[in-house]
């Protein structure tokens, strides 16, 4: 009984395969291109234009939230609160004009470097605390 059932299924699959190859074939090397041609009516064209306009408006709205003028900043490095740096003014011994010494430029670079070093060691301390907690 099962042999007859298997044979029927096999025969049906062969018939359906031959039915598929008997139709007009397309897309092969010596066959015509496969395509479906549909006439576009005005309601389809209007709906497509409406969807495109809505998508474009939504894209423009989403892009308005992006601040393109912002460059990368080291926001994860903590700032140590310090007093504002003021360049000292030195009196010129040869005349009445005073000379301003630029020490704030290098100091601010050094301050960012020290903040980065402290942030690195804080991160290492956090990792050690997590390792210690996992080992316990």
Query: Who's near 79: CB < 8 A, 6+ residues apart?
Result: 115
CB atoms within 10 A of CB 118: 13
| Average pLDDT, integer, range 83-88 | 84
What pLDDT does 25 receive?
82
pLDDT at 78 over 70: no
Please give the Cα distance from 104 to 88 (Å, whole number). Answer: 9
Q: What tens digit of pLDDT does each residue of 39-73 get?
A: 778 888 888 899 999 999 999 888 887 766 666 66
Among 63-67, 103-107, 127-131, where is mean pLDDT lowest?
63-67
Q: What percent of the chain has pLDDT over 70?
A: 72
> What is the DSSP secondary structure assignment for residue 34, as one 8-state letter?
P
What pLDDT does 20 receive?
46
Q: What is the mean pLDDT of the chain?
A: 79
CB atoms within 10 A of CB 111: 15
Which residues share a beta bridge with 100?
89
Query: Who's near 115: CB < 8 A, 6+ residues apart?
Result: 77, 78, 79, 80
Helix or strand holding residue 1 (H, E): none
Contact 119, 128 (CB under 8 A): no
Please give the Cα distance from 89 to 106 (Å, whole number). Answer: 17
Q: What is the pTM of this model?
A: 0.34
Q: What tens digit of pLDDT does each residue of 88-103 get?
A: 888 877 777 888 888 8
Name the CA dihedral angle for 133, 78, 80, 130, rounded to a multiple of 10 degrees. Answer: 0
Q: Which residue has the higher pLDDT, 74 or 117?
A: 117
């Amino acid at each position: 009984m099962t042999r007859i059932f298997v044979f029927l299924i096999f025969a049906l699959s062969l018939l359906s395969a031959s039915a598929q190859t008997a139709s007009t074939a397309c897309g092969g090397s010596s066959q015509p291109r496969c395509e479906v041609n549909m006439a576009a009516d005005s309601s389809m064209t209007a709906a497509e234009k409406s969807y495109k306009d809505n998508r474009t408006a939504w894209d423009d709205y989403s892009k308005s939230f992006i601040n393109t003028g912002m460059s990368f900043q080291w926001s994860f490095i903590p700032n140590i609160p310090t007093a504002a740096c003021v360049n000292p003014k030195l009196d010129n011994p040869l005349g009445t004009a005073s000379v301003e010494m630029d020490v704030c430029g290098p100091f601010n670079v050094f301050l960012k470097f020290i903040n980065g070093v402290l942030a690195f060691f804080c991160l290492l301390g956090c990792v050690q605390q997590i390792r210690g907690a996992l080992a316990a």
